[in-house]
């Protein structure tokens, strides 16, 4: 190593090097700041706040350990919320994915007016959920709502869909399927178009029928798409809130209250910060399981590509 004389130039060079070492930190600092203030710190804070009693009944937050959680799980309303959410997820996710796959298979051939079909199935995706829910509020109107006009055609009497505790959740499930099936369909269409054509040709030469090659080639080859779409669908379903706010307000008799809506209600209607935080933690843990799966899966897929 050569010793350099101390000249003004060397000093400047050293200052530049210190600046250079700080540069990457400077570059990431805005992102890091916003992520820290609105994601990292709040995540820790809801965990912490969920351990305190903090509502209209107490003047100062009181430490209560897991009190908020035990209170929640002993509360029949919250149990209903969990049941509703699980039913909603278990109904909308498989049904819309299955329908999306069928539609994609039907659309993945030479047919007339393909663009029109794609338009019909995909437009609900681009509508804000609030607008879609407003339209469906109208669709479900007792008497002349088109859903009722439709079922009356089959001699089923008109129903008060959103006012009947036995039907309200079903009404939201139908809206959920209508809203997202087209979105999942385009993933399947893209998946189908990416399938290796020569394998199908070989299968057909070997005498495989269309149904056989769909069953033994198409479905397994689309498994990646299905896993990806399922994760998105599950996370979206757990975050259902807009349509509940617009259409039912969680009613009748909590028949349509789900996790995120219940969180909003606990915070702004019941002003119970401690319980709202506990619900947030439950929601975060549930969603974390699915987003981590999604993340690991996409990482792995990227690694293969």
Partner 1 sequence: MNENMRLARFKLRSILNSLGLLVLAVVAIGWAIPILWALAVSVHPPDEPLSAANLWFGSHPTLANYAQAFQIAPFVQYYINTILIVFGILIVQLVTISLAGYAFARFRFRGQNILFFLILLQLMVPSSALIVPNYSTIRQLHLFDTLLAVMLPFFGSAFGTFLMRQTFRTVPRDLDDAARMDGANWLQTLWYVYIPPARPAMIAFALSSISFHWNDFLWPLVVTNSTNSRPLTVGLAVFTQLGEIGAQWPLVTAGTVIVVGPLLLLFLIFQRQFIDSFLHSGLK
The interface with partner 1 within residues 182-211 (CB under 8 A) comprises 182-183, 186-187, 190, 209-210
Residue among 66, 216, 219, 268 that touches partner 1 (CB under 8 A): 268
Select the residue interacting with partner 1 from 73, 123, 219, 270 (CB under 8 A): 123
Interaction of residue 271 with partner 1, rule CB under 8 A? no
* Closest to 92 measured CA to CA, from 173, 3, 149: 173
Question: Is residue 267 a contact point for partner 1 (CB under 8 A)?
Answer: yes
Beta carbons within 10 angstroms of residue 122's beta carbon = 15
Task: Find tokens 């909308």 and name the residue.
Answer: 92
Residue 254's contacts (CB-CB under 8 Å, 6 or more residues apart) are: 77, 80, 81, 84
- Indicate the residue among 200 and 264 with the shorter CB distance to partner 1: 264
Residues 216-245 binding partner 1 (CB under 8 A) are: 228, 232, 235, 239, 241-242, 245
Residue pair 136/175 in contact by the 8 Å Cβ criterion: yes
Pick out residues in 57-96 that bind partner 1 (CB under 8 A): none
The yes or no reply on residue 24 touching partner 1 (CB under 8 A) is yes
Element (H, E) at 145: none
Residue owning tokens 């805005």: 30
Selected binder of partner 1 within 10, 106, 202, 271 (CB under 8 A): 106
Task: Quote the CA–CA distance of 197 and 208 in Å, as a whole number.
Answer: 14
How many CA atoms within 13 Å lie on the side-chain side of 53?
12
State which of residues 5, 8, 30, 76 lies at the interface with partner 1 (CB under 8 A). Answer: 30
Q: What angle do CA 48, 239, 121 make, to 5 degrees?
A: 165
Instruction: Please work out the total of residues on this chain that contact partner 1, with binding judged by CB under 8 A.
Output: 91
Residue 99 has which token pair? Answer: 């329908």
Residues 43, 108, 160, 230: which binds partner 1 (CB under 8 A)? 43
Instruction: Measure the CA–CA gap between 277 and 263, rounded to whole angstroms.
Output: 8
What b-and-e string marks burial along 39-70, b requiring 16 or more CB atoms within 10 Å of the CB?
eeeeeeebeebbbbbbbeeeeeeeebeebbbe
Span of 64-72, 88-96, 165-173, 180-188 interacting with partner 1 by CB under 8 A = 180-188
Q: How far apart are CA 78 and CA 66, in angstroms?
A: 16
Among 71, 82, 86, 122, binds partner 1 (CB under 8 A): 122
129: contact with partner 1 by CB under 8 A: yes
Q: Which of 51, 72, 101, 137 binds partner 1 (CB under 8 A)?
A: 137
> Does residue number 283 form part of the binding site for partner 1 (CB under 8 A)?
yes
Burial class (CB in 10 A: 0-12, 13-18, 19+), 103: buried
What is the per-residue burial (b if ≥16 Cβ within 10 Å, else e) of 14-28?
Answer: eeeeeeeeeeeeeee
Stretch that binds partner 1, among 23-31, 72-80, 159-167, 215-223 (CB under 8 A): 23-31
Specify the stretch interacting with partner 1 by CB under 8 A; choose among 59-67, 78-86, 216-224, 288-296: 288-296
Contact between 255 and partner 1 (CB under 8 A)? no
CB 261, min distance to partner 1, A: 9
10 cis-preceded (ω within 30 degrees of 0): no
Q: Please report how close the Cβ of residue 235 comes to partner 1 at its closest, in angstroms.
A: 7
Contact 88, 175 (CB under 8 A): no
Specify the residue, 3 or 304, whose C-beta has the smaller distance to partner 1. 304
Pick between residue 3 and residue 137 the one whose CB is nearest to partner 1: 137
Q: How far is the CB of 222 from partner 1 (least distance, A)?
A: 15
56 binds partner 1 (CB under 8 A): no
């Amino acid at each position: 190593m050569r010793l350099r004389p101390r000249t003004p130039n060397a000093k400047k060079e050293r200052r530049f090097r210190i600046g250079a070492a700080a540069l990457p930190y400077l570059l990431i600092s805005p992102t890091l700041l916003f992520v820290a203030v609105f994601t990292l710190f709040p995540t820790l804070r809801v965990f912490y706040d969920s351990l305190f009693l903090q509502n209209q009944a107490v003047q100062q937050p009181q430490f209560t350990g897991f009190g908020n959680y035990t209170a929640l799980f002993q509360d029949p309303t919250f149990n209903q919320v969990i049941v509703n959410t699980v039913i909603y997820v278990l109904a909308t996710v498989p049904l819309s994915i299955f329908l999306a796959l069928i539609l994609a298979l039907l659309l993945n051939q030479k047919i007339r007016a393909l663009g029109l079909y794609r338009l019909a199935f995909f437009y609900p995706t681009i509508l804000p959920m609030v607008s879609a829910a407003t339209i469906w509020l109208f669709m479900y109107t007792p008497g002349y709502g088109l859903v009722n006009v439709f079922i009356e055609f089959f001699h089923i009497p008109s129903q008060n869909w959103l006012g009947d505790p036995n039907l309200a959740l079903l009404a939201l499930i139908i809206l959920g399927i209508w809203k997202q099936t087209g979105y999942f369909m385009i993933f399947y269409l893209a998946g189908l178009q990416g399938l290796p054509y020569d394998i199908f040709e070989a299968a057909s030469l070997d005498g495989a029928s269309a149904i056989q090659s769909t069953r033994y080639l198409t479905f397994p080859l689309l498994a990646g798409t299905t896993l990806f779409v399922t994760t998105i669908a599950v996370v979206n379903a757990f975050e259902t809130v807009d349509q509940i706010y617009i259409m039912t307000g969680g009613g009748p008799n909590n028949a349509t209250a789900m996790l995120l809506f219940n969180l909003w209600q606990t915070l702004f209607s019941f002003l119970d910060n401690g319980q709202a935080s506990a619900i947030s933690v439950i929601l975060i843990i549930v969603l974390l399981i699915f987003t981590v799966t999604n993340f690991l899966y996409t990482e792995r897929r990227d690694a293969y590509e």
